Structure 1
Amino acid sequence: MSDTSANDTVLALLPDIPEVLAVLDTVDDPLIAWLQPAEGLGPDEEDWVLPGTLNVVAVTAAWDRILGLRPQLLLWGENEREGVPGAYSLETASTGYQRASLYPVSVPRADLAVMAGLLEHLRRALARDRPADHGDLAQILWDAAERLTDQRGNSVSPSTRRYEAEDLVADLETALQLLDPGQDPDVALLLEAIGAPAEGSTVVLSGPAAEAYDRWTGRLITRTARSSFDAALTRWAN
Protein backbone atom coordinates (compact mmCIF):
# COMPACT_ATOMS: atom_id res chain seq x y z
CA MET A 1 0.00 0.00 0.00
CA SER A 2 2.92 2.37 -0.50
CA ASP A 3 3.49 5.09 -3.10
CA THR A 4 -0.21 5.97 -3.28
CA SER A 5 -1.61 9.10 -4.90
CA ALA A 6 -4.35 11.26 -3.42
CA ASN A 7 -6.86 10.05 -6.04
CA ASP A 8 -5.98 6.35 -5.92
CA THR A 9 -8.89 4.36 -4.51
CA VAL A 10 -9.98 0.79 -3.88
CA LEU A 11 -13.51 -0.34 -4.75
CA ALA A 12 -14.95 -2.33 -1.87
CA LEU A 13 -18.34 -3.66 -0.82
CA LEU A 14 -20.13 -2.99 2.46
CA PRO A 15 -22.84 -5.55 3.27
CA ASP A 16 -26.05 -4.48 4.95
CA ILE A 17 -25.33 -6.90 7.79
CA PRO A 18 -25.14 -5.05 11.13
CA GLU A 19 -23.21 -7.88 12.79
CA VAL A 20 -20.47 -7.51 10.16
CA LEU A 21 -20.44 -3.72 10.03
CA ALA A 22 -20.13 -3.64 13.82
CA VAL A 23 -16.43 -4.39 13.36
CA LEU A 24 -16.01 -0.83 12.05
CA ASP A 25 -17.57 0.56 15.22
CA THR A 26 -15.30 -1.58 17.40
CA VAL A 27 -12.24 -0.21 15.63
CA ASP A 28 -13.61 3.30 16.09
CA ASP A 29 -14.33 2.83 19.80
CA PRO A 30 -12.57 1.64 21.83
CA LEU A 31 -9.47 1.24 19.64
CA ILE A 32 -9.11 4.62 17.91
CA ALA A 33 -10.79 6.43 20.79
CA TRP A 34 -8.37 5.03 23.35
CA LEU A 35 -5.35 6.13 21.34
CA GLN A 36 -6.31 9.78 21.78
CA PRO A 37 -4.34 11.98 24.22
CA ALA A 38 -5.90 12.12 27.66
CA GLU A 39 -7.58 15.34 28.76
CA GLY A 40 -7.67 16.92 32.19
CA LEU A 41 -4.67 15.09 33.62
CA GLY A 42 -3.47 16.20 37.03
CA PRO A 43 0.09 17.48 37.61
CA ASP A 44 1.24 14.06 38.83
CA GLU A 45 -0.51 12.06 36.10
CA GLU A 46 1.14 10.87 32.90
CA ASP A 47 -0.46 10.06 29.57
CA TRP A 48 0.30 7.02 27.42
CA VAL A 49 3.71 7.08 25.76
CA LEU A 50 3.15 5.75 22.26
CA PRO A 51 5.76 4.81 19.63
CA GLY A 52 7.23 7.82 17.88
CA THR A 53 6.52 6.09 14.56
CA LEU A 54 2.76 5.98 15.28
CA ASN A 55 1.03 9.18 14.15
CA VAL A 56 -2.26 9.11 16.05
CA VAL A 57 -3.46 12.33 14.40
CA ALA A 58 -3.00 10.82 10.93
CA VAL A 59 -4.64 7.55 12.00
CA THR A 60 -7.65 9.37 13.43
CA ALA A 61 -8.07 11.53 10.32
CA ALA A 62 -7.76 8.53 7.99
CA TRP A 63 -10.27 6.49 9.97
CA ASP A 64 -12.75 9.39 10.14
CA ARG A 65 -12.58 9.75 6.36
CA ILE A 66 -13.13 6.02 5.89
CA LEU A 67 -16.15 5.97 8.21
CA GLY A 68 -17.54 8.97 6.33
CA LEU A 69 -17.74 6.86 3.18
CA ARG A 70 -20.44 4.59 4.61
CA PRO A 71 -23.80 5.04 2.86
CA GLN A 72 -26.17 6.89 5.18
CA LEU A 73 -28.59 4.01 4.88
CA LEU A 74 -26.19 1.71 6.73
CA LEU A 75 -26.06 4.03 9.72
CA TRP A 76 -29.71 3.39 10.57
CA GLY A 77 -31.61 0.32 11.72
CA GLU A 78 -34.26 -1.25 9.51
CA ASN A 79 -37.05 0.49 11.42
CA GLU A 80 -35.40 3.92 11.15
CA ARG A 81 -34.74 4.13 7.42
CA GLU A 82 -37.88 5.79 6.16
CA GLY A 83 -36.84 8.69 3.96
CA VAL A 84 -33.14 7.74 3.95
CA PRO A 85 -32.07 7.45 0.28
CA GLY A 86 -30.09 4.68 -1.37
CA ALA A 87 -31.94 1.44 -0.63
CA TYR A 88 -32.26 -1.28 -3.25
CA SER A 89 -33.20 -4.97 -3.01
CA LEU A 90 -30.87 -7.89 -3.64
CA GLU A 91 -32.01 -11.44 -4.25
CA THR A 92 -30.35 -14.69 -5.21
CA ALA A 93 -32.17 -16.70 -7.86
CA SER A 94 -31.40 -19.98 -6.08
CA THR A 95 -33.50 -18.97 -3.05
CA GLY A 96 -35.87 -16.37 -4.43
CA TYR A 97 -35.57 -14.53 -1.12
CA GLN A 98 -34.31 -11.03 -0.39
CA ARG A 99 -30.75 -11.04 0.89
CA ALA A 100 -28.60 -8.37 2.54
CA SER A 101 -27.82 -5.67 -0.01
CA LEU A 102 -24.20 -4.87 -0.85
CA TYR A 103 -23.05 -1.27 -1.36
CA PRO A 104 -19.95 -0.34 -3.39
CA VAL A 105 -17.66 2.29 -1.85
CA SER A 106 -14.40 3.80 -3.10
CA VAL A 107 -11.80 3.88 -0.32
CA PRO A 108 -8.60 5.97 -0.65
CA ARG A 109 -5.51 3.77 -0.71
CA ALA A 110 -3.59 6.41 1.24
CA ASP A 111 -6.01 6.08 4.18
CA LEU A 112 -5.83 2.30 4.00
CA ALA A 113 -2.05 2.54 4.13
CA VAL A 114 -2.23 4.63 7.31
CA MET A 115 -4.53 2.06 8.93
CA ALA A 116 -2.28 -0.79 7.80
CA GLY A 117 0.55 1.00 9.60
CA LEU A 118 -1.52 1.03 12.79
CA LEU A 119 -2.15 -2.70 12.40
CA GLU A 120 1.59 -3.37 12.20
CA HIS A 121 2.20 -1.32 15.35
CA LEU A 122 -0.48 -3.29 17.21
CA ARG A 123 1.00 -6.59 16.10
CA ARG A 124 4.42 -5.54 17.36
CA ALA A 125 2.88 -4.41 20.65
CA LEU A 126 1.52 -7.91 21.31
CA ALA A 127 4.66 -9.75 20.22
CA ARG A 128 6.80 -11.45 22.88
CA ASP A 129 9.76 -9.34 21.83
CA ARG A 130 7.81 -6.07 21.60
CA PRO A 131 9.96 -2.92 21.31
CA ALA A 132 10.32 -0.98 24.54
CA ASP A 133 8.31 1.94 23.19
CA HIS A 134 5.31 -0.32 22.45
CA GLY A 135 4.58 -1.19 26.09
CA ASP A 136 1.84 1.41 26.63
CA LEU A 137 0.29 0.49 23.29
CA ALA A 138 -0.01 -3.11 24.49
CA GLN A 139 -1.60 -1.87 27.72
CA ILE A 140 -4.16 0.10 25.71
CA LEU A 141 -5.13 -3.08 23.88
CA TRP A 142 -5.44 -5.09 27.11
CA ASP A 143 -7.52 -2.40 28.81
CA ALA A 144 -9.76 -1.88 25.76
CA ALA A 145 -10.38 -5.63 25.47
CA GLU A 146 -11.33 -5.82 29.14
CA ARG A 147 -13.70 -2.89 28.70
CA LEU A 148 -15.38 -4.60 25.74
CA THR A 149 -15.84 -7.79 27.73
CA ASP A 150 -17.44 -5.83 30.57
CA GLN A 151 -19.65 -3.81 28.21
CA ARG A 152 -20.98 -6.81 26.32
CA GLY A 153 -21.52 -8.93 29.40
CA ASN A 154 -25.00 -10.43 29.28
CA SER A 155 -25.76 -8.85 25.91
CA VAL A 156 -23.94 -11.66 24.13
CA SER A 157 -24.67 -15.35 24.01
CA PRO A 158 -23.53 -17.49 26.96
CA SER A 159 -21.10 -19.31 24.68
CA THR A 160 -19.18 -16.12 23.91
CA ARG A 161 -15.65 -16.13 25.32
CA ARG A 162 -13.81 -13.18 26.81
CA TYR A 163 -12.68 -10.48 24.43
CA GLU A 164 -8.87 -10.47 24.28
CA ALA A 165 -6.36 -7.92 22.99
CA GLU A 166 -5.65 -10.25 20.06
CA ASP A 167 -9.34 -10.08 19.14
CA LEU A 168 -9.16 -6.30 18.88
CA VAL A 169 -6.19 -6.58 16.51
CA ALA A 170 -8.06 -9.25 14.53
CA ASP A 171 -11.06 -6.91 14.25
CA LEU A 172 -8.88 -4.19 12.73
CA GLU A 173 -7.45 -6.74 10.30
CA THR A 174 -10.97 -7.88 9.34
CA ALA A 175 -12.07 -4.27 8.86
CA LEU A 176 -9.14 -3.64 6.52
CA GLN A 177 -9.85 -6.84 4.57
CA LEU A 178 -13.44 -5.64 4.15
CA LEU A 179 -12.32 -2.19 3.00
CA ASP A 180 -9.46 -3.49 0.82
CA PRO A 181 -10.50 -6.84 -0.70
CA GLY A 182 -7.42 -6.97 -2.92
CA GLN A 183 -7.69 -9.68 -5.56
CA ASP A 184 -10.58 -11.53 -3.91
CA PRO A 185 -12.36 -13.17 -6.89
CA ASP A 186 -15.70 -13.29 -5.06
CA VAL A 187 -15.66 -9.53 -4.47
CA ALA A 188 -14.66 -8.89 -8.09
CA LEU A 189 -17.54 -11.05 -9.30
CA LEU A 190 -20.02 -9.35 -6.99
CA LEU A 191 -18.89 -5.85 -7.94
CA GLU A 192 -19.40 -6.68 -11.61
CA ALA A 193 -22.80 -8.29 -11.01
CA ILE A 194 -24.13 -5.49 -8.79
CA GLY A 195 -22.68 -2.51 -10.66
CA ALA A 196 -24.18 0.77 -9.44
CA PRO A 197 -27.65 -0.28 -8.24
CA ALA A 198 -30.35 2.34 -8.65
CA GLU A 199 -32.39 3.30 -5.62
CA GLY A 200 -35.56 1.23 -5.44
CA SER A 201 -34.31 -1.34 -7.95
CA THR A 202 -33.95 -5.09 -7.49
CA VAL A 203 -30.73 -6.89 -8.34
CA VAL A 204 -30.93 -10.66 -8.79
CA LEU A 205 -27.74 -12.69 -8.46
CA SER A 206 -27.62 -16.08 -10.11
CA GLY A 207 -25.11 -18.82 -10.84
CA PRO A 208 -21.51 -17.97 -9.89
CA ALA A 209 -22.49 -14.55 -8.53
CA ALA A 210 -25.00 -16.08 -6.10
CA GLU A 211 -22.39 -18.63 -5.00
CA ALA A 212 -19.86 -15.82 -4.51
CA TYR A 213 -22.38 -13.99 -2.34
CA ASP A 214 -22.78 -16.97 -0.03
CA ARG A 215 -19.04 -17.59 0.19
CA TRP A 216 -18.05 -13.98 0.80
CA THR A 217 -20.75 -13.06 3.31
CA GLY A 218 -20.20 -16.41 5.01
CA ARG A 219 -16.51 -15.68 5.55
CA LEU A 220 -17.25 -12.21 6.92
CA ILE A 221 -19.89 -13.53 9.30
CA THR A 222 -17.49 -16.21 10.56
CA ARG A 223 -14.76 -13.63 11.21
CA THR A 224 -16.99 -11.16 13.03
CA ALA A 225 -19.23 -13.49 15.06
CA ARG A 226 -18.29 -13.98 18.69
CA SER A 227 -19.49 -17.59 18.67
CA SER A 228 -20.56 -20.32 16.24
CA PHE A 229 -24.14 -19.92 17.51
CA ASP A 230 -24.11 -16.19 16.72
CA ALA A 231 -22.64 -16.91 13.26
CA ALA A 232 -25.40 -19.42 12.48
CA LEU A 233 -28.10 -16.92 13.47
CA THR A 234 -26.57 -14.18 11.30
CA ARG A 235 -26.28 -16.50 8.28
CA TRP A 236 -29.89 -17.54 8.68
CA ALA A 237 -31.02 -13.91 8.74
CA ASN A 238 -28.99 -12.87 5.70
Structure 2
Amino acid sequence: MSDTATASDTVTALVPDIDEVLDLLHQVDDPLVNYLQPVSDEENPDEEDWQMPETLDVRAVDQAWTRILQALPEPLTSHLRDRREEEPVPGSYTLLTGAGYQRASLYPVTVDRADLAVMTNLLDHLRRALPATRPDDHRDLSEALDQVADRRTDLDSHLGARRHTYSDADVVRELEVALDLLGAVDQDADAVLLLKAIGTPQPDATIELRGEQAEAYGRWTGQLIGKVARSASEAALIRYVV
Protein backbone atom coordinates (compact mmCIF):
# COMPACT_ATOMS: atom_id res chain seq x y z
CA MET A 1 0.00 0.00 0.00
CA SER A 2 1.42 3.41 -0.96
CA ASP A 3 1.97 6.28 1.47
CA THR A 4 -0.93 8.13 -0.13
CA ALA A 5 -3.41 5.30 0.27
CA THR A 6 -6.44 5.99 2.45
CA ALA A 7 -8.75 3.77 4.48
CA SER A 8 -11.19 3.76 1.57
CA ASP A 9 -8.49 2.13 -0.59
CA THR A 10 -8.23 -0.84 1.77
CA VAL A 11 -10.42 -3.31 3.61
CA THR A 12 -9.64 -5.07 6.89
CA ALA A 13 -10.73 -8.69 7.24
CA LEU A 14 -10.40 -11.29 9.97
CA VAL A 15 -8.38 -14.41 9.22
CA PRO A 16 -8.42 -17.27 11.76
CA ASP A 17 -5.41 -19.38 12.62
CA ILE A 18 -7.12 -22.52 11.35
CA ASP A 19 -5.13 -24.96 9.18
CA GLU A 20 -7.89 -25.56 6.66
CA VAL A 21 -8.49 -21.84 6.11
CA LEU A 22 -4.79 -21.06 5.67
CA ASP A 23 -4.41 -24.06 3.37
CA LEU A 24 -7.22 -22.73 1.20
CA LEU A 25 -5.52 -19.33 0.83
CA HIS A 26 -2.29 -20.96 -0.25
CA GLN A 27 -4.06 -23.39 -2.60
CA VAL A 28 -5.56 -20.44 -4.43
CA ASP A 29 -1.95 -19.40 -4.98
CA ASP A 30 -0.79 -22.85 -6.04
CA PRO A 31 -2.11 -24.58 -8.03
CA LEU A 32 -4.77 -22.10 -9.27
CA VAL A 33 -2.95 -18.80 -9.80
CA ASN A 34 0.30 -20.58 -10.60
CA TYR A 35 -1.27 -22.74 -13.33
CA LEU A 36 -2.62 -19.69 -15.15
CA GLN A 37 0.77 -18.01 -15.56
CA PRO A 38 2.72 -17.93 -18.85
CA VAL A 39 5.22 -20.74 -19.26
CA SER A 40 8.95 -20.16 -19.06
CA ASP A 41 10.63 -20.56 -22.45
CA GLU A 42 13.82 -21.74 -20.75
CA GLU A 43 12.20 -24.38 -18.53
CA ASN A 44 9.43 -25.45 -20.94
CA PRO A 45 10.58 -24.69 -24.50
CA ASP A 46 7.95 -26.96 -26.09
CA GLU A 47 4.95 -25.63 -24.19
CA GLU A 48 2.67 -22.85 -25.38
CA ASP A 49 0.98 -20.23 -23.22
CA TRP A 50 -2.71 -20.43 -22.46
CA GLN A 51 -4.79 -18.19 -24.71
CA MET A 52 -6.62 -16.23 -22.03
CA PRO A 53 -9.46 -13.74 -22.56
CA GLU A 54 -8.16 -10.25 -23.27
CA THR A 55 -10.04 -9.01 -20.20
CA LEU A 56 -8.03 -11.31 -17.88
CA ASP A 57 -4.48 -10.29 -16.98
CA VAL A 58 -3.03 -13.37 -15.27
CA ARG A 59 0.22 -11.62 -14.39
CA ALA A 60 -1.78 -8.97 -12.55
CA VAL A 61 -3.65 -11.77 -10.77
CA ASP A 62 -0.36 -13.28 -9.61
CA GLN A 63 0.88 -9.92 -8.33
CA ALA A 64 -2.40 -9.13 -6.56
CA TRP A 65 -2.64 -12.49 -4.80
CA THR A 66 1.03 -12.31 -3.80
CA ARG A 67 0.40 -8.95 -2.13
CA ILE A 68 -2.67 -10.35 -0.35
CA LEU A 69 -0.66 -13.27 1.04
CA GLN A 70 2.12 -10.88 2.07
CA ALA A 71 -0.44 -8.92 4.09
CA LEU A 72 -0.97 -11.91 6.40
CA PRO A 73 0.69 -11.34 9.80
CA GLU A 74 3.66 -13.42 10.86
CA PRO A 75 1.67 -15.78 13.11
CA LEU A 76 -0.20 -16.93 9.99
CA THR A 77 2.66 -16.91 7.48
CA SER A 78 4.90 -18.84 9.86
CA HIS A 79 2.29 -21.58 10.20
CA LEU A 80 4.76 -24.27 9.16
CA ARG A 81 3.87 -27.94 9.07
CA ASP A 82 7.18 -28.94 10.65
CA ARG A 83 6.84 -26.51 13.57
CA ARG A 84 6.49 -28.35 16.85
CA GLU A 85 3.23 -27.52 18.59
CA GLU A 86 4.98 -26.57 21.82
CA GLU A 87 6.99 -23.86 20.04
CA PRO A 88 5.33 -20.43 20.27
CA VAL A 89 4.64 -18.80 16.92
CA PRO A 90 6.35 -15.37 16.72
CA GLY A 91 3.87 -12.52 17.15
CA SER A 92 0.99 -14.74 18.22
CA TYR A 93 -1.47 -14.15 21.04
CA THR A 94 -3.92 -16.28 23.02
CA LEU A 95 -7.68 -16.08 22.46
CA LEU A 96 -10.08 -17.37 25.10
CA THR A 97 -13.86 -17.70 25.03
CA GLY A 98 -16.47 -18.76 27.53
CA ALA A 99 -15.08 -20.39 30.64
CA GLY A 100 -11.45 -19.82 29.69
CA TYR A 101 -11.31 -22.20 26.73
CA GLN A 102 -8.48 -21.43 24.30
CA ARG A 103 -9.66 -21.06 20.72
CA ALA A 104 -8.09 -20.41 17.33
CA SER A 105 -6.83 -16.83 17.26
CA LEU A 106 -8.24 -14.29 14.81
CA TYR A 107 -5.98 -11.76 13.10
CA PRO A 108 -6.96 -8.52 11.34
CA VAL A 109 -5.59 -8.42 7.79
CA THR A 110 -5.68 -5.25 5.70
CA VAL A 111 -5.55 -5.61 1.91
CA ASP A 112 -5.97 -3.27 -1.03
CA ARG A 113 -9.42 -3.10 -2.57
CA ALA A 114 -7.73 -2.91 -5.98
CA ASP A 115 -6.13 -6.33 -5.41
CA LEU A 116 -9.48 -7.78 -4.36
CA ALA A 117 -11.00 -6.31 -7.54
CA VAL A 118 -8.36 -8.10 -9.64
CA MET A 119 -9.15 -11.39 -7.92
CA THR A 120 -12.89 -10.83 -8.29
CA ASN A 121 -12.33 -10.31 -12.02
CA LEU A 122 -10.58 -13.69 -12.10
CA LEU A 123 -13.52 -15.26 -10.26
CA ASP A 124 -15.96 -13.79 -12.81
CA HIS A 125 -13.94 -15.28 -15.68
CA LEU A 126 -13.71 -18.68 -13.99
CA ARG A 127 -17.48 -18.75 -13.52
CA ARG A 128 -17.96 -18.06 -17.21
CA ALA A 129 -15.50 -20.85 -18.07
CA LEU A 130 -17.50 -23.52 -16.18
CA PRO A 131 -20.56 -24.18 -18.39
CA ALA A 132 -20.42 -25.96 -21.73
CA THR A 133 -21.80 -22.76 -23.28
CA ARG A 134 -18.64 -20.89 -22.25
CA PRO A 135 -17.40 -18.13 -24.62
CA ASP A 136 -14.85 -19.26 -27.21
CA ASP A 137 -12.10 -17.18 -25.61
CA HIS A 138 -12.59 -19.07 -22.31
CA ARG A 139 -11.70 -22.52 -23.69
CA ASP A 140 -8.09 -22.48 -22.49
CA LEU A 141 -9.22 -21.13 -19.12
CA SER A 142 -11.60 -24.09 -18.85
CA GLU A 143 -8.77 -26.49 -19.70
CA ALA A 144 -6.58 -24.85 -17.07
CA LEU A 145 -9.36 -25.35 -14.52
CA ASP A 146 -9.44 -29.06 -15.41
CA GLN A 147 -5.73 -29.34 -14.67
CA VAL A 148 -6.04 -27.42 -11.41
CA ALA A 149 -8.87 -29.72 -10.28
CA ASP A 150 -6.73 -32.78 -11.07
CA ARG A 151 -3.84 -31.29 -9.12
CA ARG A 152 -6.09 -30.55 -6.12
CA THR A 153 -7.21 -34.18 -6.18
CA ASP A 154 -3.58 -35.33 -6.29
CA LEU A 155 -2.76 -33.15 -3.29
CA ASP A 156 -5.41 -35.08 -1.35
CA SER A 157 -3.89 -38.44 -2.25
CA HIS A 158 -2.37 -38.88 1.23
CA LEU A 159 -5.84 -38.81 2.81
CA GLY A 160 -6.75 -42.31 1.67
CA ALA A 161 -10.47 -42.94 2.15
CA ARG A 162 -10.99 -39.27 3.04
CA ARG A 163 -9.57 -38.18 -0.31
CA HIS A 164 -11.76 -35.74 -2.20
CA THR A 165 -12.09 -35.78 -5.98
CA TYR A 166 -12.13 -32.15 -7.05
CA SER A 167 -14.15 -30.73 -9.90
CA ASP A 168 -13.75 -27.44 -11.74
CA ALA A 169 -16.64 -26.07 -9.68
CA ASP A 170 -14.82 -27.00 -6.44
CA VAL A 171 -11.80 -24.95 -7.50
CA VAL A 172 -14.01 -21.95 -8.27
CA ARG A 173 -15.80 -22.42 -4.96
CA GLU A 174 -12.49 -22.28 -3.07
CA LEU A 175 -11.70 -18.91 -4.64
CA GLU A 176 -15.21 -17.70 -3.78
CA VAL A 177 -14.73 -18.65 -0.12
CA ALA A 178 -11.30 -17.02 0.02
CA LEU A 179 -12.57 -13.74 -1.43
CA ASP A 180 -15.64 -13.83 0.80
CA LEU A 181 -13.34 -14.13 3.82
CA LEU A 182 -11.22 -11.18 2.67
CA GLY A 183 -14.19 -9.01 1.66
CA ALA A 184 -15.99 -6.21 3.44
CA VAL A 185 -16.23 -7.05 7.14
CA ASP A 186 -18.85 -4.33 7.68
CA GLN A 187 -21.40 -6.53 5.91
CA ASP A 188 -21.24 -9.12 8.73
CA ALA A 189 -22.38 -8.04 12.19
CA ASP A 190 -20.46 -10.84 13.92
CA ALA A 191 -17.24 -9.94 12.10
CA VAL A 192 -17.66 -6.28 13.04
CA LEU A 193 -18.12 -7.20 16.69
CA LEU A 194 -15.10 -9.52 16.68
CA LEU A 195 -12.85 -7.06 14.89
CA LYS A 196 -13.68 -4.40 17.46
CA ALA A 197 -13.13 -6.82 20.37
CA ILE A 198 -9.77 -8.01 19.08
CA GLY A 199 -8.42 -4.66 17.87
CA THR A 200 -4.70 -4.93 17.17
CA PRO A 201 -3.58 -7.96 19.21
CA GLN A 202 -0.19 -7.58 20.82
CA PRO A 203 2.30 -10.48 20.80
CA ASP A 204 1.96 -12.80 23.79
CA ALA A 205 -1.22 -11.03 24.93
CA THR A 206 -4.36 -12.83 26.10
CA ILE A 207 -7.76 -11.69 24.84
CA GLU A 208 -10.94 -13.16 26.29
CA LEU A 209 -14.28 -12.98 24.53
CA ARG A 210 -17.37 -13.05 26.73
CA GLY A 211 -21.13 -13.00 26.24
CA GLU A 212 -22.12 -11.67 22.82
CA GLN A 213 -18.51 -11.66 21.68
CA ALA A 214 -18.08 -15.36 22.46
CA GLU A 215 -21.39 -16.16 20.76
CA ALA A 216 -20.32 -14.17 17.70
CA TYR A 217 -17.06 -16.11 17.59
CA GLY A 218 -18.94 -19.41 17.56
CA ARG A 219 -21.30 -18.31 14.80
CA TRP A 220 -18.65 -16.67 12.62
CA THR A 221 -16.08 -19.45 12.80
CA GLY A 222 -18.80 -22.08 12.45
CA GLN A 223 -20.07 -20.55 9.20
CA LEU A 224 -16.53 -20.22 7.82
CA ILE A 225 -15.62 -23.80 8.72
CA GLY A 226 -18.83 -24.98 7.06
CA LYS A 227 -17.70 -23.32 3.83
CA VAL A 228 -14.13 -24.61 3.98
CA ALA A 229 -14.88 -28.20 5.02
CA ARG A 230 -15.56 -30.78 2.33
CA SER A 231 -18.15 -32.68 4.36
CA ALA A 232 -20.27 -32.36 7.47
CA SER A 233 -18.04 -34.79 9.33
CA GLU A 234 -14.92 -32.82 8.42
CA ALA A 235 -16.60 -29.60 9.58
CA ALA A 236 -17.41 -31.22 12.92
CA LEU A 237 -13.80 -32.36 13.29
CA ILE A 238 -12.40 -28.90 12.55
CA ARG A 239 -14.78 -27.29 15.05
CA TYR A 240 -13.68 -29.79 17.69
CA VAL A 241 -9.99 -29.01 17.12
CA VAL A 242 -10.34 -25.24 17.14
Q: TM-score, normalised by structure 1?
A: 0.90
SS at match of 1:140: helix
Equivalent residue runs for 1:217-232 within 5 Å: 217-232=221-236
Aligned to 1:189: 193
- Shift of the alpha carbon at 1:81? 8.2
**Which blocks of at least 5 consecutive residues in structure 2 are unaligned?**
none
SS at match of 2:52: coil
Equivalent residue runs for 1:169-184 within 5 Å: 169-182=172-185, 183-184=187-188
Aligned to 2:15: 14
On the 8 A contact 1:89/1:201 being kept in 2, the answer is: yes
CA distance in 2 between partners of 1:115 and 1:156 (Å): 30
Instruction: Give the one of 159, 165, 170 matched to 1:167.
Output: 170
Aligned to 1:199: 203
- Shift of the alpha carbon at 1:6? 4.6
Change in CA separation of 1:139 and 1:205 when aligned onto 2, cut-off 3 Å: same
Q: Percent identity?
A: 53
Aligned to 1:38: 39
Change in CA separation of 1:135 and 1:6 when aligned onto 2, cut-off 3 Å: farther
Q: Decide which moves more: 137-146 or 159-168.
A: 159-168
On the 8 A contact 1:12/1:180 being kept in 2, the answer is: yes
Aligned to 2:143: 139
Aligned to 1:73: 75
Change in CA separation of 1:47 and 1:23 when aligned onto 2, cut-off 3 Å: same
CA distance in 2 between partners of 1:59 and 1:170 (Å): 17
- Shift of the alpha carbon at 1:9? 0.7
- Shift of the alpha carbon at 1:80? 6.8
CA distance in 2 between partners of 1:190 and 1:127 (Å): 38
Whichever residue aligns with residue 137 of structure 2, its letter is D
Aligned length: 231
CA distance in 1 between partners of 2:240 and 2:35 (Å): 34
- Shift of the alpha carbon at 1:84? 4.7
CA distance in 1 between partners of 2:71 and 2:212 (Å): 28
Q: Deviations over 1:23-82 (max 9, x none)?
A: 101100010000011123446x53211111101111111111000011111122462784
CA distance in 1 between partners of 2:35 and 2:86 (Å): 31
Instruction: Give the one of 205, 217, 220 matched to 1:216.
Output: 220
**Which blocks of at least 5 consecutive residues in structure 1 are unaligned?**
none
Aligned to 2:24: 23
| CA RMSD of superposed structures (Å) | 1.9
SS at match of 2:32: helix
Change in CA separation of 1:200 and 1:42 when aligned onto 2, cut-off 3 Å: closer
Change in CA separation of 1:149 and 1:216 when aligned onto 2, cut-off 3 Å: same
On the 8 A contact 1:73/1:81 being kept in 2, the answer is: no
Whichever residue aligns with residue 34 of structure 1, its letter is Y
Runs of 4+ in 1 over 4 A off after TM superposition: 80-84
SS at match of 1:120: helix
Q: Decide which moves more: 107-116 or 79-88.
A: 79-88
Change in CA separation of 1:60 and 1:185 when aligned onto 2, cut-off 3 Å: same
Aligned to 2:65: 63
